[in-house]
A and B are shown apart, each in its own frame.
Chain A
Amino acid sequence: MPDNAAYHGNTRGILLVVLYMAVAITPLILASVYGYPYGHVLYDLGRSFALLGFMIIVLQVFLAARIKWIEQPYGFDILIRFHRNMGIFALLLILAHPFLLAAGSGRWALVLGPAVSPVVWLGRITLAVLIASVLLSVYQRSLGLKYEPWRLVHDILSPLIIVGAFVHSFMIGADLNLALMQGIWIASAIAAVSVFVYHRLIRPRILRKHAYRVTEVVPEAPGVWTVKLAPAAGEPLFDYLPGQFQFITFFRNRGLPEEEHHWTISSSPAGRDYVSSTIKALGDFTSTMGQTRVGDRAAVHGGFGRFSYVLYPKERDLVFIAGGIGITPLMSMIRHMQDTRDTRQVLLLYANKDQSGIVFSRELSEIEAGGHPSLRVVHVLGSPGPGWKGETGFVDEEKILRLCGDDLDGKIFYVCGPSGLIDAVLDALTGLGVEDYRIRIEIFSFLD
């Protein structure tokens, strides 16, 4: 397991935010102190927005590049949402840039006029590409765009935006006549492109070279498989915390697709020589998981996320609420508690449509009987088959309160499952007066 101290990152988390802002505003301050003014505040504001927008675009690459020391204090799901928010912010800044220049100088031809220099046209084209990139990201689902083609387009547009913005600003920006600014601009562009190239081209090749091997494929339920992966002989298993997720690219040949997907880890990191993900057939790609064979290879990159009880060792009274295949990170934590002979109290509310959807049923019963952790499993089925005597319906306020013994004080809630279940449970917990800090959720989709 990785050093937990790396994740207890309040200080590092705050420092990284400060560093982010410092990097973003440094060119702006230098240009304002050493550069010459145009003389109209709107014009100068237009320049400021452009400088700030460019630096935010440069920093976008660092946010998305899966750099662990940046990811650990926040979790990848949060970091990628910040990346998305700042992308929208950068677009607004850069969108305002030509309008402010035009308003400040009175030369509105700058915005729409055709008779401008090629460098201005380059700026316009780059802005159009940035608008397209942001809109495709924000409205990916509404547009019916699947993750893989969206990501391909994003990977093509992103470097174009950086290079286009760099060339435009370097050629036309009055502030870029300052030698210091030129140095910062060149260094920023080189750093961004280098990190991008490493993230999208070099690291995938390194991971492929050190590919893991599928050691077992276990059918868990109809359309659900656990795939166990082990590193090549003599190579170490990567560090992860129970509850984290990993990126996997399977190399199975046989005409099966090679796509990178992220899945939560279902295994415990304690004393095991493999890492596993339990995968449900929910789409075109995951429907092929049953065709995965022992000996197939896979590039594995992990672990990411902060959805892990080990980050909060003092919390002893936990309530896990899982919906369907959302059980996997919770199972990883329960298995880890078993492996480490942990005695904390865990109530697992496991929601499924019917009995056929339950995975890990027997193992959960065994752990429950073993006493490590002090686990109580309650299945909640929406449409149970005949003979079911357990809980039915949805995980709502009444069930949560009753099953928790009418006492929610001090309990920490971990919620994982489809978005409908998460939203319903969040509403229920909020309605029951559970404070935000006692609710932990994992957001699987990076684009929602």
Chain B
Amino acid sequence: MRRTELRKVTILVIAVLVSIAVFMAIFRGSAGDSRGASAEPGTLVCGENARQSSQVIRVNGSCAGVLLFHHHEKCAAHE
């Protein structure tokens, strides 16, 4: 019956998507570390590596959000 199949497919799709989202969140942290981009907000923004990243451009422009504000705040403290 198709309703049973729907339930199975929905559960499968949701499980796969959530698993990938969790995996990628973990992967992102480890990949970032291996690239030398420190996870510390202040270092990320103020460091030379981060300066070349697109994130810095946003920070040097308008501080649009909490994450960027957080970075900016750290930068100001460092500088």
Contact = CB atoms under 8 A, between A and B. Distances in A.
Whether chains A and B associate is yes
Interface of A: 17, 20-21, 24-25, 28-29, 31-33, 35-41, 43-45, 47-49, 52, 56, 74-75, 78, 81-82, 85-86, 89, 93, 101, 105, 107, 109-110, 116-117, 119-120, 171-172, 174, 177-179, 306, 436-437, 439-441, 443
B67 A38 contact: yes
A312 to B, nearest CB: 13
A172 B66 CA distance: 8
Contact of B64 (A21, A29, A172): A172
B1 A437 contact: yes
Contact of B2 (A29, A36, A78): A78
A72 B40 CA distance: 50
B66 A32 contact: no
Contact of B39 (A17, A21, A40): A40
Contacts of A436: 1, 4
A29 B1 contact: no
A88 to B, nearest CB: 10
B55 A28 contact: no
A291 B22 CA distance: 58
Interface of B: 1-6, 9-10, 13-14, 16-17, 20-22, 24-29, 31-33, 37-41, 44, 50, 53-55, 57-58, 63-70
A356 B15 CA distance: 50
B6 A81 contact: yes
A306 B2 contact: yes
6 contacts: A29-B20, A32-B28, A36-B50, A37-B32, A117-B65, A172-B68
Nearest to A30: B24
Nearest to B70: A105
Contact of B14 (A33, A78, A89): A89
Nearest to A56: B17
A134 to B, nearest CB: 15
Contact of A85 (B10, B16, B20): B10
Given A37-B31, A306-B2, A117 B64 contact: yes
Contact of B13 (A21, A29, A81, A107): A21
A25 B23 CA distance: 12
A38 B13 CA distance: 27
A441 B54 contact: no
A20 B25 contact: no
B32 A39 contact: yes
B64 A171 contact: yes
B53 to A, nearest CB: 6
A110 B66 contact: yes
Contacts of A107: 66, 70
A28 B21 contact: yes
